[in-house]
Amino acid sequence: MSGAFGFEPAVKPGVPAPAGPIGAGPRRPAMPWPAAPLQMLLPALVLLPLLAWLPFTAHGGGLDLLGRFALAAFTPSLDPLVVRSALAGLATTVGMALLGWVASLVLGVSLGVASSRTLWRTCCGRVWPGGWIRRLLAVPRAVHELLWGLLLLQLVGLQPVVAVVAIALPFGALVARVVADLLDGLDTGRLEALRLAGAPAPAALFTALGPPLLPGLLSYGGYRLECALRSATLLGVFGLGGLGTDLRLTLQSLEFHELWTGLWLLLAVMLALEAGLGWLRRRWLMPRRLALSQAGVGVRGREMVLALVALLPLGFGVGRALGVDPRGLLTWQPLQGVGGSGWWDGDRLLALPWPSLIGGTLALTLLAAALAVGLPPLQLLVSAPWPPLRRLVQLSWAFARLWPPPLTALLLLLLLQPGLLTAALALGLHNAGILGRLLAEALADGSSARHGALVSAGVGPRLALLYGRYPAVARPYLAYGAYRADVLLRDTVVVGLVGATGLGSQLLESLSSFAWDQLLALVAVYVLLTLLGEELSDRVRRQLLRCG
Amino acid sequence: MSQAVQPLLELRQVRLDGRGLPRLAAVSLALHPGERVALLGPSGAGKSSLLAVANGLLAPSSGQVLWQGEPPARSRRARRRQQARIGTLWQDLRLIEELTVQQNLNAGRLAVWGWPRALLNLLMPLDTAANAAALAKVDLPPELLHQPVAALSGGQRQRVAIARLLRQEPSLLLADEPLASLDPRLAGALLALLLAEVTPQRAMLLSLHRPDLLAGFDRVIGLRAGRIVVDAPAAALRGAAGESLLAELYQGSEAPGVHPGGLGALREGGEAR
């Protein structure tokens, strides 16, 4: 049951682990422990306190505005000027995403190969350089692309290359980690056989590890492109250009009809991208079920390599069209205040309310993660008997993952007061859209035999889903949720502008007041927290995928 | 076998279109309470199709299916009540690997249980006495209740699947090649268990690929190219006359043997309509 969750890094796609030793004595659970399908629903319990809390934080002032926003979905502005500007913004966003993605792949694959233990062992006989490169890469990975973007913006000013680099750096480090994990997870038998036969190290590495690496790389790479599109939109929201900027401006000026013009276009592009990548994934990676075509093997491989090679000229073309100029990164602006006397003030740093900042960030992460993991299975269960409602749920997921969390937060501010709850809702709903799609895909890929058997025995659609389909996906889903929680920790910075929510909001505040010392300290704490969270979620994930 | 009693299953002139030739043509049969019926025929004769129509997995292209004299209900709720009275033993068993034996046995009750009990079943042991009794009927010790199904041996899983069927308390038992891929001794033991469950209120229709196991059956239906060509008391298939009947049934096909797909492959998990 690896399916849709197969691209999660670090832990190899989960094969259902064998349960306990066969013939082991009776195993009576010491305390009631929820069975797998129920574990999927447990995080949804977070809804109870959230809903109880909601009335106290609601002000309801913007109810009519929210209504106008919703109604405008049916009447987007078709003014040629608006459409043209939205299309131009969309082209910029897609171009930035594409370019950042290509750069991150180039960066990630080379760094990933460079940090692979297998490679160092084969080429030089020692492993430690790979380990050190891997550890160093943890830092760019732990800094959110938005932070990279905002920092670079201060450093080199607003230009298209900023967004591209902001995406390429953290994504490249992420891809490097996954590539290194994939490489080191491969069976080295073939490699040793080639080496013993006298093949030189590079040739042996390429021949033995290249082909098995390709499918995993493509699957994960495709997923990163979707992430890059979301990130490019998000960076736009913070002023780095493209459609995101338009979305934020139209939302803030309450031009809902124009807002929806951009939203519908973005939705179309995102759904087309997801469908296209899904098609490619199925075409290249699914074992052919009906026809065992021998010819297909080589052809697929050639197609994959050609597609990868074609990315480079594509990247250059897009770069030229966007006016991306890497030389722009070399001329730095003087940072306001830095170097002057007293820019570093230890007392001011210690005066920051660190415990509450960190506590707020952790609380925000946990709330949002529980919401993101718990909501999709519950929604699918509730909507199971009514296919139209189910389609509506899936459409709502599409909107949730397309719509950047800070904009959700701005919308929520029409109804709610700024604070932890509002930020958690914005972040949680966005990620629920991502997890929901993965869950639906995993359910569609899984066998329907047990579901069919239950339906044949007269079991209702909801219970048939709970007993027939959820058990098989429960553990991979929760394991993916653990990975998502660690992504969420990094993401808390993007809802910082809703205020009073930990490190993220303090960071944005320090940035706008040019308090560079605070900024540096906050980023350092963020990196530390993220690395700790990564370690923790790795452990939880391994635990989940191991015990059956 | 009195005709006054309502048949548990009745097919009237059922036709099921396939690609090219019909998979079933003009099939009529009635199953009365207390009957144990074996369904024989060469591969591709339509045994799995007939069972799929009988348990509601496939709707016939023409003709009628009646359960206890009633056609398939229109309302979803009534239809589910009908399906709950039909128990199917699947060739691939379709046990829920991730759950314990007890939770699997209770899954047989899901059609009548509401939400609260269905959720509670995933949290704590429910109905332990009834489940232990069901296990005892298939000669399994009650200690197995807390084992995950994934830890059971092949023979134990077969028995757990039968026990789950018993927990469902169906009035019509259907089984598609339940004994395929089992060694002869185990096949005989499991068949005996199944046959023993046919009470005077129940009926069983079981497709079979081994004519040597007909001993406990009352009646045999032979299917060939989607048509019923034999419908006789089981006694008629013993002795020399039986030999020639069987030879005719399997004529031109390979000896009774391996079955390619089974009920599950017909319409992989499609919802009963």
Name every chain A residue with its beta carbon within 8 A of the beta carbon of B118: 463, 466-467
Q: Is residue B271 part of a domain?
A: no
For residue B177, give every residue at least 6 positions away whose Cβ sits within 8 Å of its Cβ, in sequence order, or none.
B47, B48, B91, B207, B208, B209, B259, B262
A191 vs A168: which has the higher pLDDT: A168
Q: pLDDT tens digits, residue range A65-111?
A: 888 888 888 888 888 888 898 898 888 899 889 999 999 988 988 88
Kindly report the average pLDDT of chain A as a whole number. 80
Name every chain B residue with its beta carbon within 8 A of the beta carbon of A458: 80-86, 111
Interface contact flag, A459 B111, Cβ < 8 Å: yes
As a whole number of Å, the CA-based R_g of chain A is 24
The encoded tokens of residue A209 equal: 């590890």
> Considering only A47-51, A148-152, A281-285, A372-376, which range has the smallest mean pLDDT?
A281-285
Q: Give percent helix, percent strand, percent coil of chain A, each to the nearest 5.
A: 75, 0, 25
Whether B2 and chain A come into contact, CB under 8 Å, resolves to no
- With a cut of 80, say whether residue A22 has pLDDT above it: no
Name every chain A residue with its beta carbon within 8 A of the beta carbon of B88: 453, 456-457
Calculate how close chain B gets to A38, using CA atoms only, in Å: 6
pLDDT classification of A338: cutoffs 50, 70, 90: low
Class of A41-72+345-548 in CATH: mainly alpha
Give the pLDDT of residue B246.
81
Select from A449, A456, A474 the Cβ nearest to the Cβ of B98: A474
Give the pLDDT of residue A498.
66
Do B235 and B189 lie in a common domain?
yes
Q: Do domains A41-72+345-548 and A74-286+300-330 have the same CATH topology?
A: yes
Interface contact flag, B57 A459, Cβ < 8 Å: no
Amino acid at A330: L
pTM over the 0.90 mark: no
Q: Is residue B51 part of a domain?
A: yes
Calculate how close chain A gets to B191, using CA atoms only, in Å: 21
Give the pLDDT of residue B258.
43
- With a cut of 90, say whether residue B36 has pLDDT above it: yes
Select from A35, A455, A548 the Cβ nearest to the Cβ of B103: A35
Note the Cα A164 to chain centre separation in Å.
17
- With a cut of 90, say whether residue B174 has pLDDT above it: yes
Do B22 and B150 lie in a common domain?
no
Whether B78 and chain A come into contact, CB under 8 Å, resolves to no
Name every chain B residue with its beta carbon within 8 A of the beta carbon of A18: 150
Do B186 and B160 lie in a common domain?
no
Q: Is residue B251 part of a domain?
A: yes
- With a cut of 60, say whether residue A483 has pLDDT above it: yes
Among candidate residues B225, B221, B158, B224, the one with its CA nearest the CA of residue B194: B158
A14 vs A453: which has the higher pLDDT: A453
Calculate how close chain A gets to B242, using CA atoms only, in Å: 35
Give the pLDDT of residue B271.
35
> Considering only A38-42, A53-57, A369-373, which range has the smallest mean pLDDT?
A53-57
Question: Cα(B211)–Cα(B191) distance, rounded to whole angstroms?
Answer: 13
Select from B94, B110, B269 the Cβ nearest to the Cβ of A459: B110
pLDDT classification of A10: cutoffs 50, 70, 90: very low
Give the pLDDT of residue A21.
38
Among candidate residues A129, A134, A154, A332, the one with its CA nearest the CA of residue A239: A154
Q: Is residue B266 part of a domain?
A: no
Q: pLDDT tens digits, residue range A339-348?
A: 666 666 777 7
Select from A18, A32, A450 the Cβ nearest to the Cβ of B124: A32
Give the pLDDT of residue B266.
56
Q: pLDDT tens digits, residue range A400-443?
A: 888 888 888 888 888 888 888 888 898 999 999 989 988 988 88
Do B157 and B209 lie in a common domain?
no
Give the pLDDT of residue A377.
94
Question: Cα(A412)–Cα(A501) distance, rounded to whole angstroms?
Answer: 15
Rounded average pLDDT over A148-152: 85
Rounded average pLDDT over B218-247: 85
- With a cut of 50, say whether residue A161 has pLDDT above it: yes
Calculate how close chain B gets to A467, using CA atoms only, in Å: 8
For residue A98, give every residue at least 6 positions away whose Cβ sits within 8 Å of its Cβ, in sequence order, or none.
A225, A228, A314, A315, A318
Q: Which of B135, B169, B203 is the last residue of a domain?
A: B169
> Considering only A53-67, A225-239, A320-334, B112-126, which range has the smallest mean pLDDT?
A320-334
Among candidate residues A445, A533, A421, the one with its CA nearest the CA of residue A486: A533
pLDDT classification of A119: cutoffs 50, 70, 90: confident
Do B180 and B75 lie in a common domain?
yes
Among candidate residues A217, A210, A207, the one with its CA nearest the CA of residue A108: A217
Q: b/e per residue, A97-112, with b = 16+ CB within 10 A?
A: bbbbbbbbbbbbbebb
User: Which of B110, B128, B169 best tests the A interface by mutation, with the highest count of A CBs <10 A?
Assistant: B110
- State phi, psi for B259 to the nearest 5 degrees: -105, 130
User: Which of A445, A459, A475 best tests the B interface by mutation, with the highest count of B CBs <10 A?
Assistant: A459
Give the pLDDT of residue A154.
81
User: Which chain A residue shows the shortest CA-CA distance from B165?
Assistant: A457
Residue B72 DSSP label? P
- With a cut of 80, say whether residue A453 has pLDDT above it: yes
Do B1 and B81 lie in a common domain?
yes
Give the pLDDT of residue A294.
46
Interface contact flag, B92 A449, Cβ < 8 Å: yes
Burial class (CB in 10 A: 0-12, 13-18, 19+), B234: middle
Name every chain A residue with its beta carbon within 8 A of the beta carbon of B147: 20, 24, 26-27
What's the CATH number where B24 sits? Answer: 3.40.50.300
The encoded tokens of residue B57 equal: 């997995």
Give the pLDDT of residue B269.
35
For residue B140, give every residue at least 6 positions away whose Cβ sits within 8 Å of its Cβ, in sequence order, or none.
B156, B159, B160, B163
Domain made up of A74-286+300-330: CATH architecture: Orthogonal Bundle (1.10)
Size of interface A-B (CB pairs under 8 A): 137
- Write down how long chain B is: 273
- With a cut of 50, say whether residue B193 has pLDDT above it: yes
Give the pLDDT of residue A32.
57
Q: pLDDT tens digits, residue range B110-162?
A: 989 888 999 999 988 888 999 999 999 888 999 999 988 988 988 889 899 99
Interface contact flag, A472 B90, Cβ < 8 Å: no
Whether B108 and chain A come into contact, CB under 8 Å, resolves to yes
Give the pLDDT of residue B272.
35
pLDDT classification of B163: cutoffs 50, 70, 90: very high
pLDDT classification of A497: cutoffs 50, 70, 90: low
- With a cut of 60, say whether residue A314 has pLDDT above it: yes
Interface contact flag, A449 B90, Cβ < 8 Å: yes
Interface contact flag, A452 B150, Cβ < 8 Å: no
Do B52 and B99 lie in a common domain?
no
Q: Is residue B268 part of a domain?
A: no
Do B180 and B142 lie in a common domain?
no
**Three-state secondary structure call for residue B19:** coil
Question: Which run of H or of E encompasses B232?
Answer: strand B227-233
Q: Which residues form the domain of B160? A: 93-169
- With a cut of 50, say whether residue A19 has pLDDT above it: no
Name every chain B residue with its beta carbon within 8 A of the beta carbon of A466: 118
Do B46 and B66 lie in a common domain?
yes
Portion of chain A with pLDDT greater than 70, in percent: 88
Q: Which of B115, B134, B169 is the last residue of a domain?
A: B169
Whether B157 and chain A come into contact, CB under 8 Å, resolves to no
pLDDT classification of A7: cutoffs 50, 70, 90: very low
The number of distinct structural domains making up chain B is 2
Amino acid at B266: L
Hey, which residues 228-257 in chain B have their CB within 8 Å of chain A?
A: none
Give the pLDDT of residue B204.
94
- With a cut of 80, say whether residue A242 has pLDDT above it: yes
**Three-state secondary structure call for residue B38:** strand
Q: Is residue B216 part of a domain?
A: yes
B242 vs A39: which has the higher pLDDT: A39
